[in-house]
Amino acid sequence: MMLVFKNAKMYEDGKMITRNISFDGVALSPIVEDLSHFDESTVVIDNMAILPGFCDVHVHLREPGFSYKETIKSGTLASARGGYTAVCSMPNLSPVPDSKEHLEAQLEIIRRDACIPVYPYGSITVAEKGEELSDMEGMADDVIAFSDDGKGVQNEEMMISAMKKAKSLNKMIVAHCEDNSLLRGGYIHDGEYARAHGHKGICSESEWGQIDRDLKLAEKTGVAYHVCHISTKESVDVIRKAKALGVDVTTETGPHYILLDDSCLEENGRFKMNPPLRSPADREAILEGILDGTIDMIATDHAPHSAEEKGKGLQKSAMGVVGIETAFPLLYTGLVKTGKLTLERLVELMSVTPRKRFGINSDAGFTVFDLNEEYSIDTSEFLSKGKSTPFEGVRVFGKCLLTVYEGKIVYCDIEKFEEEKENG
C-alpha cells in the first residue's frame, strides 16, 4: 500500500515544515510533482504530523524475572504504538544486570523479541543493594549507562566510587534519588491530601536532598550525571544552580508530574508512583523548569504491574504506573494545545535531547500522528500488559497511526488507513 501524506507537518532541523510526503512501506520521499500520477491503490491522508521517533530513557520492561508484569515483546510493541523508536530499560530485574553474565540474560531476550532498539542499563551496585560496586567495566560496552533505579544509593562513598568508575569508562551515572532515612513509611506526597485522608507522606527532601548531595559529588568527580524523574520544586532549583556552575548534569521528569498534582489523587492504586504526585506548587515549578531548560527531557518511567498489585488502594498497591502509549497525546493536549509549549519544543524533549545526551541514533525512524483526532484514553486498548494509569478516561488529541524504524513498520493503525482508502 502506497501512502501519501498531503499537507503533512514534518519536523525538520528544529522546525515544522508543511509538505507532501509519500511512504512506500520503507522510506519517506518528498513529492515534488502533483498527486495526479498516483493510482487508486494509493491512500492519501491529509494534515498528519510526521515526527522523529521518540526516545524514552526510563522504562521498565520487567524481563527477565517479572514477565507477568511486562515482557520485552509487549513493552516494545506498546512503545512503538506510542511513537517511540528507542527505549532504555531499567535494571531492577531478576537477575539484576550487575555483571556481564547477568546482563546477557536480558540481552538475549532483547535480540529475540524487541521490535525497536532497547538499550539496557547496568546496575551501579551488586543486586542494587548499595553495598558493592557492580562489574561496571565488564558491562560497559553493552549498557547505555549505570543506574540503581528504584533505589537511591544511600552511601556517599559508594556513590563517589561509582562516579569515578563511570567517569573512567566514559559512561553516565543515572540516579534515582531517594534518601531512605527520610521516607518514614510514606507512600504518597507529604501534603494536604495525605493529611486530610490519614495517609503517611513522603517528604520532598527525600528526593532533593540526595540530588543536592550527588550534584556536589558530580562536580568533584567530573562524571556525566543524569537525575531520574524529578518531582519537587527544590529539585528543579538545585539542578538549575548546578547547571549554572557548569556541572555536567541533565534531568528528566514524567508526564504525570507535569499534568497532575496531589489535588488530583483518588483512593486508587493507579495514582501511586515513586516519586509521588507532589503539590500544585511543585507542579508549577516542574513546568517552569521545562520552559527555562533546567529540565532537559521527558521520560515516562513506564512501570507496569499486574491488576492485583495495583488494586490495593493508595497504601498497599505497588508503586508505578504505565505511560509509554499515552505520553505524547497527553503532553500535546496539556501543553501544546494550551499554548504552554510549541510542538517543536515537545519533540525536542521527547526525541532530540534524550538521543543527544545518551548518544542514541537520531536518524533511525519516524512516527505519524493525527493531531486532530480526539479520543478517550482506554486501557483495554493498551498493548502493554500494564493497565494502571491515572489518565484512564481522559480526553486527548493526537493518535499514533504509524511508527517506522529502519524502514520497517513496527506499529500501524491499519483500520485508519483502510478507512481512508474506502473514503477515497
What are 262-286's pLDDT values in tens digits? 999 999 999 999 999 999 999 999 9
Between 225 and 31, whose confidence is greater? Answer: 225
Provide the percentage of residues in the chain whose pLDDT is more than 90: 90
d(CA 274, CA 276): 5
Q: What angle do CA 333, 288, 256 make, to 5 degrees?
A: 45
The answer for residues whose C-beta is within 8 angstroms of residue 253's C-beta and 6 or more apart is 229, 230, 231, 286, 289, 290, 295, 298, 299
| 322 pLDDT tier (thresholds 50, 70, 90) | very high
The per-residue pLDDT for range 369-381, each reduced to its tens digit, is 999 999 999 999 9
Residue ranges of domains in the chain = 52-364
- Supply the mean pLDDT for the chain: 95
282 catalytic, yes or no? Answer: no
Q: Is the pLDDT of residue 254 over 60?
A: yes
Strand partners, 420: none
- CATH architecture under which domain 52-364 falls: Alpha-Beta Barrel (3.20)
pLDDT value of position 364? 78
pLDDT value of position 103? 98
Question: Mean pLDDT lowest for which of 31-40, 178-187, 204-213, 273-282?
Answer: 31-40
pLDDT value of position 420? 62
Taking the C-alpha atoms of 102, 322, 344 and 366 in order, what is their torsion angle to the nearest 10 degrees? 60
The per-residue pLDDT for range 73-109, each reduced to its tens digit, is 999 999 999 999 999 999 999 999 999 999 999 999 9
Distances from the Cα of 188 to the Cα of 26, 89, 166, 209, 217, angstroms: 47, 25, 33, 18, 29
Distances from the Cα of 89 to the Cα of 31, 64, 72, 222, angstroms: 38, 11, 9, 25
Question: Mean pLDDT lowest for which of 37-46, 131-140, 165-174, 408-417?
Answer: 37-46
The per-residue pLDDT for range 31-75, each reduced to its tens digit, is 866 666 667 778 889 999 999 999 999 999 999 999 999 999 999
Of the residues 296, 301, 378, 413, only one is catalytic, namely: 301
pLDDT value of position 362? 79
Q: Is the pLDDT of residue 329 over 80?
A: yes
Q: Is the pLDDT of residue 339 over 70?
A: yes
- The DSSP 8-state label assigned to residue 66 in this structure reads -
> 275: cis peptide before it, omega within 30°?
yes
Taking the C-alpha atoms of 389, 236, 85 and 143 in order, what is their torsion angle to the nearest 10 degrees? -110
C-alpha grid cell, residue 232: 519537587
CB 397 within 8 A of CB 373: yes
Predicted TM-score (pTM) of this structure: 0.96
Task: For residue 386, give the nearest of 289, 292, 317 by alpha carbon.
Answer: 317
Q: Is the pLDDT of residue 256 over 60?
A: yes
| 384 pLDDT tier (thresholds 50, 70, 90) | very high
| 294 pLDDT tier (thresholds 50, 70, 90) | very high
Pairing of strands 365-376, 49-52: antiparallel
| 424 pLDDT tier (thresholds 50, 70, 90) | low
